[in-house]
């Protein structure tokens, strides 16, 4: 059963993460669940026809090759690789590159692949489908251009049929132009960085993303279901088909509803047909029980099946109220969300599904229940995992509209900015890009709102308005009103167009946007054409705007990590939630060199919970949790939410021990003796602390309830010198076809205690049917080589990504470091 399995996974993972770093039992320290969600998607992403993964054996060259699409070009010396592929992360960090995109290079690259379409497919359609290519791509088949797409985040498809040589060898070529490599405020990557499919289909078939599922009037007794299917007739003559549906129960697998309808499609036209029916006693999709039904759509013609689609769908109800906030299935719920970008540290933007799986599981254990996909459509794997895990999604289309934002080149908010970006093609492509996002993602129950933009209204970047001259706007703006800048009223004009696109394709979710300059935007139509309004870092506007605009539904679309930002949500019923910046450390938006990226995440580059993640867990989790970190006592009495769990100092040094907890009261113990008085939880700062002289040994925090009974604990142990390496894999068996194992490598002392202050350089040696995708230590200032098998640990730890290469067998891993005992791991690869 999907729900019980997910529940067990989360419980097991929580237990492992909640074990402290005392070093008593190292195997429990790593915090990686052995078993994660096993399911691969039951339907390939194009959602029609017979879709075959098309990722293997591409040739690649990082150069703008003349005649790169021609069949007679010799590409035998080009690099042979499998997709997904991000060439930027393979580059060299350099201070002469743009800080906004992580001091890494872009460029122009060519991909080529030869393939044969069987002669038996003649008479059928042949398409190629890309989940994402960054960016300005152009696709060729046998030397003929079939289309261009400038947006690097949307999924798209081309019809190859007119140019296919059936029964013979064909050549597909893709030119990717990321020569403007300072075109984003964060890391983008470059290349065909998501999966690709070759699709065979009958001339009469379900259209791309052509099935639309919607549940209404959901009660405990029944749910009314509407399914619309668009059929594309490319046969050259009118066609009569029967469209049938079956919905199967998420637990029993039994068919609980079915329907069918005959429709006629004119030649070379598309026709949309809707059918409605009911499901009795629906098992609703929720955060705790993410039930997923299977919707089967079958198209038959003259009694013969010509197309079939299967996808998972959920039944749930959404309520947004200007006074009471947000309800899922009638249960009023605070949205505890994080914003995330699409990279994974040393892997760049080519991120395997298993990596996202581990990260999202960790965020949910932290107490997070929602993900904002900042600031673009992301990989289909992410949405599917959110469906399966029970995480809400804010799906976002754009970071800029008709004008480019500032892109920092020499460090975050430092120096003169650049102005490359997606604005160059917004006017031409925005309706299409937004519409494709809606069509692709609208059947995901996790998606609860559509965002048409992020901070496009940032005052004077570029839009301006006379209200910026007012002294009481509580939002400082350098220079005040700039009359030579674009008028802010344009925001309302564009928002009306974009919201119409969304509502023309889906009316089951609200349209929103993340406003950075709400004071200015309030003088335009922008917030008033939205269904719900996101506020970025303007919590001081919640109360007055709620009073002034009583019908406005308000939430924190982007907020800081601090206690005050959370209390503004927690203590105001009408504010339904927040999305903190950020969930996971990400490449780009870097500070002064050397800096790989932005380091405010609750998780680090390797997906491990950071101290501020423990702080967030103490605020959000329904379970009793506690954590301690330490640092030298500061002169300014600072209470940090970034205190690492280190207990190694000089004897007698005064150390500040900070505790993040949701326990009623906590006791601090040093070598079995209580330190000072037990302390109550501090609801003002979320942090309690003790200052004490350092003494080697075991430091432990014990959380208790109102009756003094222990509910949680966390302990640190002083370590000795680095002595050996330990390694633990999340999976001892992986599938031979690109299965992934994530191996945690830890430096420990002679007693097995983690050495947090270790900086040893570890080498990974692999034998067998596997390869190293990367070593990630999560050190933001380490801008060395991430393309070899050597990496220096950070806080005594790193993560190794090991991928199977296609054969069955055993992958043998050896991790070594000078003067340390090595660690060995064996991973079995099997066909599935």
DSSP per-residue codes, 436-461 = HHHHHHTT-TTEEEEEEEESTT-TTS
The rounded distance, in Å, linking the Cα atoms of 43 and 308 is 10
Residues in the chain: 832
CA 274 to each of CA 26, 262, 372, 800, 827: distance values in angstroms, whole numbers, following the listed order: 57, 11, 31, 49, 49
SS3 575: strand
Reply yes or no on whether the pLDDT at 385 is more than 60.
yes
The 10s digit of each residue's pLDDT in 305-346 is 999 999 999 999 999 999 999 999 999 999 999 999 999 999
661-693: b (≥16 Cβ within 10 Å) or e? bbbbbbbbebeeeebeeebebeeeebbbbbebe
Reply yes or no on whether the pLDDT at 588 is more than 80.
yes
Q: What are the residue numbers of the active site?
A: 455, 558
**CA 820 distance to own-chain centroid:** 36
Is 403:462 a contact under the CB 8 Å cutoff?
yes
Reply yes or no on whether the pLDDT at 476 is more than 90.
no
Gyration radius from the chain CA atoms:
27
pLDDT given for residue 44 in this prediction: 56
The 10s digit of each residue's pLDDT in 501-528 is 999 999 999 999 999 999 999 999 999 9
Residue 159: partners with Cβ closer than 8 Å, 6 or more residues away: 125, 126, 127, 146
pLDDT given for residue 473 in this prediction: 54
The rounded distance, in Å, linking the Cα atoms of 571 and 585 is 28
pLDDT given for residue 703 in this prediction: 98
The rounded distance, in Å, linking the Cα atoms of 335 and 580 is 11
Sign of CA dihedral 157, 159, 160, 163: negative
pLDDT given for residue 412 in this prediction: 77
The 10s digit of each residue's pLDDT in 610-621 is 999 999 999 999
The 10s digit of each residue's pLDDT in 793-828 is 999 999 999 999 999 999 999 999 999 999 999 999
Reply yes or no on whether the pLDDT at 7 is more than 90.
no
The rounded distance, in Å, linking the Cα atoms of 595 and 131 is 30
Reply yes or no on whether the pLDDT at 4 is more than 90.
no
Reply yes or no on whether the pLDDT at 282 is more than 70.
yes
| Rounded average pLDDT over 405-433 | 92
Is 206:271 a contact under the CB 8 Å cutoff?
no
pLDDT given for residue 472 in this prediction: 55
Q: How many helices (H) and strands (E) does the chain have?
A: 9, 47
The rounded distance, in Å, linking the Cα atoms of 362 and 120 is 47
pLDDT given for residue 21 in this prediction: 38
Q: Among 2-11, 394-403, 650-659, which stretch is predicted with the lowest mean pLDDT? A: 2-11
pLDDT given for residue 822 in this prediction: 98
| Rounded average pLDDT over 570-583 | 98
| Rounded average pLDDT over 714-732 | 98
Reply yes or no on whether the pLDDT at 369 is more than 80.
yes
The rounded distance, in Å, linking the Cα atoms of 390 and 766 is 36
The 10s digit of each residue's pLDDT in 737-780 is 999 999 999 999 999 999 999 999 999 999 999 999 999 999 99
Residue 536: which pLDDT band, with cuts at 50, 70 and 90?
Answer: very high
Task: Give the count of beta carbons closer than 10 Å to the beta carbon of residue 711.
Answer: 18
Sign of CA dihedral 462, 465, 466, 468: negative
Q: Choose among 738, 366, 374: nearest CA to 536.
A: 374
Q: For the residues of 270-297, what is the DSSP string, one character each?
A: EEEEEEEEEEES---B-SS-B--EEEEE
**CA 167 distance to own-chain centroid:** 40
Is 309:344 a contact under the CB 8 Å cutoff?
no
pLDDT given for residue 451 in this prediction: 98
The 10s digit of each residue's pLDDT in 24-67 is 332 222 333 323 333 334 455 889 999 999 999 999 999 999 99
DSSP-derived letter for residue 595 is: -
Reply yes or no on whether the pLDDT at 11 is more than 80.
no
Crossing angle of helices 489-505 and 426-441, rounded to 10° = 40
Q: Choose among 373, 418, 397: nearest CA to 494.
A: 397
The rounded distance, in Å, linking the Cα atoms of 674 and 655 is 16
| Rounded average pLDDT over 378-383 | 97
Reply yes or no on whether the pLDDT at 688 is more than 70.
yes
Give the mean pLDDT of the chain: 93
The 10s digit of each residue's pLDDT in 421-448 is 999 999 999 999 999 999 999 999 999 9
pLDDT given for residue 475 in this prediction: 54
The region that residue 402 occupies, defined by phi over 0 for left and psi between -120 and 50 for alpha, beta otherwise, is: alpha
pLDDT given for residue 40 in this prediction: 38
Reply yes or no on whether the pLDDT at 19 is more than 70.
no
Peptide bond into 462 cis (omega under 30): yes
Residue 445: partners with Cβ closer than 8 Å, 6 or more residues away: 285, 290, 292, 313, 314, 315, 316, 387
> Which comes out higher in pLDDT, residue 181 or 34?
181
Sign of CA dihedral 674, 675, 680, 686: negative
The rounded distance, in Å, linking the Cα atoms of 578 and 570 is 9
Half-sphere exposure at residue 766, Cβ-oriented, CA atoms within 13 angstroms: 23
The rounded distance, in Å, linking the Cα atoms of 84 and 75 is 19
CA 595 to each of CA 411, 586, 718, 781: distance values in angstroms, whole numbers, following the listed order: 9, 11, 30, 5
| Rounded average pLDDT over 282-310 | 97
Reply yes or no on whether the pLDDT at 245 is more than 60.
yes
Q: Give the percent of the chain with pLDDT over 70.
A: 94
Is 166:119 a contact under the CB 8 Å cutoff?
yes
Residue 415: which pLDDT band, with cuts at 50, 70 and 90?
Answer: confident
pLDDT given for residue 28 in this prediction: 26
Is 32:17 a contact under the CB 8 Å cutoff?
no
Kindly provide the residue ranges of all beta strands, DSSP E only, lying in 560-609, ordered along the sequence.
575-580, 586-587, 597-598
pLDDT given for residue 26 in this prediction: 29
| Rounded average pLDDT over 104-109 | 98
Reply yes or no on whether the pLDDT at 9 is more than 80.
no
Residue 360: partners with Cβ closer than 8 Å, 6 or more residues away: 371, 382, 385, 386, 389, 391
């Amino acid at each position: 059963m999907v729900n019980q399995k997910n529940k067990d996974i989360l419980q097991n993972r929580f237990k492992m993460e909640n074990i402290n770093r005392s070093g008593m039992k190292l195997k429990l320290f790593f915090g990686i669940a052995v078993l994660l969600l096993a399911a691969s998607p039951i339907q390939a992403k194009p959602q029609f026809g017979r879709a075959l993964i098309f990722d293997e054996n591409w040739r690649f060259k990082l150069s703008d090759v003349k005649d790169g699409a021609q069949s007679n070009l010799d590409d035998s010396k080009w690099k042979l690789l499998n997709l997904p592929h991000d060439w930027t992360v393979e580059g060299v960090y350099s201070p002469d590159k743009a800080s906004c995109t992580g001091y890494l290079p872009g460029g122009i690259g060519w991909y080529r692949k030869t393939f044969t379409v069987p002669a038996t497919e003649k008479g059928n359609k042949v398409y190629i489908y890309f989940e994402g290519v960054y960016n300005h791509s152009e696709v060729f088949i046998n030397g003929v251009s079939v289309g261009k797409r400038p947006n690097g985040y949307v999924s798209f498809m081309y019809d190859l049929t007119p140019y296919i040589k059936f029964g013979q060898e064909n050549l597909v070529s893709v030119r990717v132009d990321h020569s403007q490599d300072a075109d984003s405020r964060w890391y983008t990557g470059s290349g065909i960085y998501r999966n690709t499919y070759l699709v065979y289909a009958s001339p009469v078939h379900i259209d791309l993303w052509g099935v639309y599922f919607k549940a209404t009037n959901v009660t405990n007794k029944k749910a009314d279901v509407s399914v619309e299917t668009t059929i594309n007739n490319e046969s050259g003559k009118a066609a009569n088909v029967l469209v049938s549906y079956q919905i199967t129960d998420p637990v029993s697998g039994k068919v609980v509803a079915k329907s069918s309808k005959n429709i006629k499609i004119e030649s070379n036209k598309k026709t949309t047909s809707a059918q409605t029916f009911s499901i009795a006693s629906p098992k609703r999709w929720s955060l705790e029980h993410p039930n997923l039904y299977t919707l089967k759509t079958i198209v038959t013609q003259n009694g013969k099946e010509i197309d079939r689609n299967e996808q998972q769908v959920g039944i749930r109800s959404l309520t947004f109220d200007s006074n009471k906030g947000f309800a899922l299935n009638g249960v009023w719920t605070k949205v505890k969300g994080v914003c995330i970008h699409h990279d994974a540290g040393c892997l760049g933007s080519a991120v395997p599904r298993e990596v996202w799986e581990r990260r999202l599981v960790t965020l949910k254990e932290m107490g997070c229940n929602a993900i904002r996909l900042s600031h673009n459509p992301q990989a289909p794997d992410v949405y599917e995992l959110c469906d399966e895990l029970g995480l809400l999604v804010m799906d976002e289309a754009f970071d800029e509209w008709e004008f480019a934002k500032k892109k920092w080149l020499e460090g975050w908010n430092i120096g003169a900015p650049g102005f490359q970006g997606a604005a160059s093609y917004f006017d031409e492509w925005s309706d299409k890009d937004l519409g494709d996002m809606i069509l692709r993602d609208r059947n995901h129950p996790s998606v609860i709102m559509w965002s048409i933009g992020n901070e496009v209204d940032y005052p004077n970047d570029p839009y301006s308005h006379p209200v910026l001259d007012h002294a009481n706007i509580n939002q400082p703006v350098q220079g005040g009103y700039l009359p030579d800048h674009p008028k802010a009223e344009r925001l309302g004009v564009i928002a009306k167009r974009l919201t119409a696109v969304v509502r023309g394709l889906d009316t089951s979710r609200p349209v929103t946007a993340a406003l950075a300059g709400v004071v200015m935007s309030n003088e335009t139509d922008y917030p008033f054409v939205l269904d719900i309004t996101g506020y970025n870092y303007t919590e001081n506007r919640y109360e007055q705007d709620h009073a002034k605009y009583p019908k406005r539904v308000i939430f924190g679309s982007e907020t800081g990590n601090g206690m005050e930002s959370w209390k503004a949500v927690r203590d105001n019923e009408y504010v339904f939630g927040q999305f903190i910046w950020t969930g996971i450390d990400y490449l780009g938006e870097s500070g002064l060199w050397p800096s790989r990226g932005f380091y405010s995440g609750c998780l680090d580059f390797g997906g491990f919970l950071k101290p501020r993640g423990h702080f967030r867990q103490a605020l959000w989790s329904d379970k009793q949790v506690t954590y301690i970190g330490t640092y030298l006592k500061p002169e300014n009495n600072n209470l940090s939410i970034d205190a690492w769990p280190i207990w190694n100092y000089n004897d007698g040094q005064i150390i500040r021990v900070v505790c993040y907890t949701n326990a009623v009261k906590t006791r601090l113990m040093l070598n079995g003796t209580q330190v000072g008085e037990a302390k109550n939880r501090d609801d003002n700062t979320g942090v309690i602390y003790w200052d004490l002289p350092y003494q080697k040994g075991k430091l432990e925090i014990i959380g208790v309830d109102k009756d003094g009974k222990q509910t949680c604990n966390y302990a640190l142990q002083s370590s000795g010198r680095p002595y050996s390496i330990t390694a633990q894999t999340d999976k001892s068996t992986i599938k031979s076809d690109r299965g992934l194992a994530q191996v945690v490598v830890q430096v420990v002392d002679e007693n097995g205690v983690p050495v947090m202050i270790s900086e040893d350089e570890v080498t990974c040696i692999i034998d067998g049917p596997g390869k190293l995708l990367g070593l990630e230590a999560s050190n933001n200032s380490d801008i060395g080589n991430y393309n070899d098998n050597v990496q220096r640990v950070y806080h005594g730890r790193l993560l190794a990504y090991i991928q199977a290469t296609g054969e069955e067998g055993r992958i043998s891993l050896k991790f070594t470091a000078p003067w340390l005992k090595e660690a060995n791991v064996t991973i079995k690869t099997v066909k599935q």
